[in-house]
């Protein structure tokens, strides 16, 4: 028996999330079916980070135990030949049997993309969030720094979170311009903005709540003082905004 670690990307708009669900197309189900068709083995994969319906991934990680004689380096091409539209395996390697892609992950990185402009280029449809109101990059960047550190993120998660506590450690958080020259070459006015966050783990919809809050700062709806109160975990007199999943990407898992 051997433990195979795979790295893969997917279009979250084509799936009902990454975790297996009965009667719905999920990333986990598709990968397990591809492994079954390839090796004849019914395996259960362990995925590094759970993503919700509509959330994409550039570099998701999973592992599974197999008795197959297929060399690890051949799994990407072999699995891609069995997978349907929306998932691509880019790398595979053999790891120690005790390796667990979820529990041994030290941090995860997410990117959230926003197009700030009047008309959304067709290439970004269902791939980024479209915001037409002007955004203050400087204010958003300054507010983003407030999230770095260990905080009580109870104000930044969706209902239905089953966590025992809401304390999380954010290692990095920044707001970056991305692709301005490319957008001009396409004949559009606007800017692609990237919100980048790295943390040890995330609560349900945590990234989407944080980005929504920073966008509220960018439009002037709330100020930095309000954000500080929200991060402290106490009650606040404003309703937290949550952005759509279409602009969210799991971009890296670190071990």
Domains and CATH numbers, the chain: 2-95 (3.30.70.580), 108-254 (3.30.70.660)
pLDDT at residue 11, as a whole number: 96
Do β-strands 56-66 and 248-254 pair in parallel, antiparallel, or remain unpaired?
parallel
Q: Tell me what pLDDT residue 151 has.
A: 93
Q: Are 111 and 196 in contact (CB under 8 A)?
A: yes
Q: Could you give the CA distance from residue 211 to residue 230 in angstroms, rounded to a whole number?
A: 13
Q: What per-residue confidence (pLDDT) applies to 237?
A: 79
pTM of this structure: 0.92
Rounded to whole angstroms, how far apart are CA atoms 58 and 115?
Answer: 19
Distances (CA, A) of 132 to 116, 135, 162, 217: 6, 9, 35, 15
Residues recorded for the chain: 255
Q: Structure tokens of 73?
A: 């380096």
Residue recorded with tokens 């983003």: 144
Annotated catalytic residue: which of 52, 171, 189, 216?
A: 52
State yes or no: is 52 an active-site residue.
yes
In angstroms, how far is CA 5 from the centroid of its own chain?
Answer: 19
The neighbouring-strand residues paired with 111 are 196, 249
pLDDT in tens, the chain (255 residues): 999 999 999 999 999 989 988 889 999 999 999 999 999 999 999 999 999 999 999 999 999 999 999 999 999 999 999 998 999 999 999 999 999 999 999 999 999 999 998 988 888 888 999 999 999 999 999 999 999 999 999 889 887 655 678 899 999 999 998 866 777 776 777 889 999 999 999 999 999 999 999 999 999 999 999 999 999 887 777 777 899 999 999 999 999
Q: Which residues contact 42 (CB under 8 A, 6 or more apart)?
A: 32, 36
* pLDDT of 162: 59
Angstrom distance (rounded) from CA 206 to CA 197: 11
**Helix (H) or strand (E) run with residue 254 in it:** strand 248-254
40 CB contacts (<8 Å, ≥6 apart)?
Answer: none
**Which pair of tokens denotes residue 95?**
């790891």
């Amino acid at each position: 028996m051997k433990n195979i670690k795979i790295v893969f990307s997917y279009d979250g708009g084509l799936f009902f999330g990454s975790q297996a669900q009965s009667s719905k197309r999920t990333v986990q189900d598709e990968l397990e079916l591809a492994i079954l068709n390839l090796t004849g083995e019914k395996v259960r994969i362990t995925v590094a980070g759970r993503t919700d319906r509509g959330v994409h991934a550039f570099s998701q990680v999973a592992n599974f135990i197999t008795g197959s004689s297929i060399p690890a380096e051949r799994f990407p091409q072999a699995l891609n030949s069995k997978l349907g539209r929306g998932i691509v395996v880019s790398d595979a390697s053999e790891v120690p049997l005790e390796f667990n892609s979820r529990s041994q992950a030290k941090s995860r990185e997410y990117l959230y993309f926003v197009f700030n402009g009047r008309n959304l280029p067709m290439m970004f449809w269902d791939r980024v969030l479209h915001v037409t109101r002007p955004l203050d990059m400087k204010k958003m960047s300054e507010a983003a720094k407030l999230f770095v550190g260990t905080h009580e993120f109870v104000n930044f998660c969706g209902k239905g979170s089953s966590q025992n506590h809401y304390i999380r450690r954010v290692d990095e958080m920044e707001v970056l311009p991305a692709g301005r020259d490319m957008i001009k070459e396409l004949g559009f006015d606007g800017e692609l903005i990237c919100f980048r966050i790295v943390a040890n783990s995330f609560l349900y919809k945590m990234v989407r709540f944080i980005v929504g809050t920073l966008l509220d700062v960018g439009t002037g709806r709330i100020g930095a003082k309000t954000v500080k109160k929200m991060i402290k975990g106490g009650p606040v007199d404003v309703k937290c905004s949550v952005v759509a999943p279409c602009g969210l990407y799991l971009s890296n898992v670190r071990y």
